[in-house]
Amino acid sequence: MIETLKTLCALRGPSGYEDAVRDYLAKEAEPYADEMTVLPNGSLLVFKRGLKQLRHKLMLCAHMDEVGLIVSKIEDDGFLRFRFIGGVDRRVVIGKQVLVGEQQIPGIIGMKPVHLSHDDEEGSVPKLKELYIDIGASSKEEAEEMTFLGDYVSFQTDCTELPNGYIRMKALDDRVGCAILLETLKKDLPVDCWFAFTVQEEIGGRGARSASHYIQPDIALIVEGTTAADVPPSSGAGKVCSPGKGPVLPFMDRASIYDRELFRLLSRIADEKQIPWQTKTKIAGGTDAQAIQRNCGGCKVGAVSAALRYIHSPSSVGSLRDIEQMQAIVDGFLEKMEEVYG
């Protein structure tokens, strides 16, 4: 699992540019798939037969895309202006290394140095128009030889294993889910199942909408990364959820109310397997569930997530034990499907 996760997180895949992630997943999934298709928008859909065929169509879903940037203007002096793709906090990107465009031109996100800042600017969050990407070009002409308007930009971060079973990587949201779905695909399944690796979740669940329209599932499980806010000075309900305390089983977020029956089933599976679990103490965020449960005739949706610190930043931190326990819950979920929905 860890090696698969490292490989996936190292790949570049901002929303709308998930090609490398999809190509890797398709290559790995192909030997185990009974059917595989790529939708026009780029989502990868894989069907695998299990020992039993359910009366209800089942789908597991994880999104391939990550937050990033896009080049919006090339200045006369060769600096690149940009916009964010997905929800990125300006405070976490200053001084961070990035890769620009298909040629992976190295760059760094810069701003006016502190020595030239006014007193009222010190300590304030710079506006987006004050930030730029420096790729070492000295003129617009030089920059245009290396990059183009609309080029995707991704963060450049090493994959690092931290002490006590924690990991630091970019794009853990949601390569965690992609890794778990891929590992599940490689197993003998108790029931037939569709696997949806979706695009453009970070900008509104667009890939999940078309994927669910194609598959038309009755039941869907979203396997995700979710926001942990357990760092100082947060306390109590303000912590939301914490890495290392088990998978997160949400009952609601800002975009979806999860099916009560599925929520209780997932929690029962965790209890039976003696897996510690938590739920979110604050209604926040959203997943592909928002698109899936509203599509066609509707769909029952549940979710299992990894609590991630510094989500939507160049470096997220999560617990390997949580991820392994998520895998066990997903396995148990498939095992229960015939009993509950057969």
* Unique residue bearing structure tokens 């570049």: 12
Cα 267 to Cα 25, 177, 262, distances in angstroms: 29, 18, 9
Separation of first and last alpha carbons in the chain: 30
Catalytic residue among 66, 201, 202, 224: 201
Query: Would residue 18 show up in a list of annotated catalytic residues for this protein?
Result: no
Based on the number of CB atoms within 10 Å of its own CB, is 298 exposed (0-12), middle (13-18) or buried (19 or more)? exposed
Q: How many other CB atoms are there within 10 angstroms of residue 114's CB atom?
A: 8
Cα–Cα distance, 29 to 203 (Å, whole number) = 26
Only one residue has tokens 């037969």, namely 49
Active site residues: 201
